[in-house]
Amino acid sequence: MEINYFFEEIKEFNTGIKTTDWISQTIINEGKTVGEINIIFCNDEYLLKINQEHLTHDYYTDIITFDYSENTLISGDLFISKDRVEENAEEYKVSFENELNRVIIHGILHLIGYNDKSESEIKEMRTKENYYLDKLI
């Protein structure tokens, strides 16, 4: 089990001491095992380049998840744009910390196997996000 945090092209910031335990508990609660998870915080331009090069998408996004999970062992890389999280927090009138945690848990839920392509999947994803956000408090 290893959850690592990296900062690319941005100044380091505190992600909160409880974050690692919260991520681990979420994965365990979903009946899975924690593998190696890397959370890479970056700026918009860094994430845009990844989006263009790896997904052939030419737009800004708050998170890109690369899933390396095998069976029940959850592993992957979460690339999170601090710029997008700040902007979304302002737009939705929530704290930066709240929006950051929502984005993190969203990526973790993708690694666990949840999707958000259809309306029913989006509803299930939001329900899970809210459930686990409540567990963090």
Is pLDDT at 75 greater than 70 in this prediction?
Answer: yes
Q: What is the mean pLDDT of residues 49-71?
A: 96
Owning domain of residue 131: 2-136
Residue with tokens 């979420």: 26
> What pTM was estimated for this model as a whole?
0.95
CATH of the domain at 89: 3.40.390.30
| Residue 59 burial class via C-beta count within 10 angstroms: exposed 0-12, middle 13-18, buried 19 and up | exposed
How many whole angstroms separate alpha carbon 75 and alpha carbon 34? Answer: 7
Reported as a single tens digit per residue, the pLDDT across 1-31 is 799 999 999 999 988 768 999 999 999 999 9
How many whole angstroms separate alpha carbon 113 and alpha carbon 79? Answer: 17
| C-alpha distance from residue 31 to each of 55, 65, 66, 72 (Å) | 29, 20, 20, 8
Give pLDDT, residue 134. Answer: 95
Question: Where does the pLDDT of residue 91 fall: very low under 50, low under 70, confident under 90, or very high at 90 and above?
Answer: very high
**What are the start-end ranges of the H helices in 30-118?**
44-55, 82-92, 96-112
Reported as a single tens digit per residue, the pLDDT across 119-130 is 999 999 999 999
Is pLDDT at 137 greater than 70 in this prediction?
Answer: no
- Could you give the number of structural domains in the chain? 1
Give pLDDT, residue 1. Answer: 79
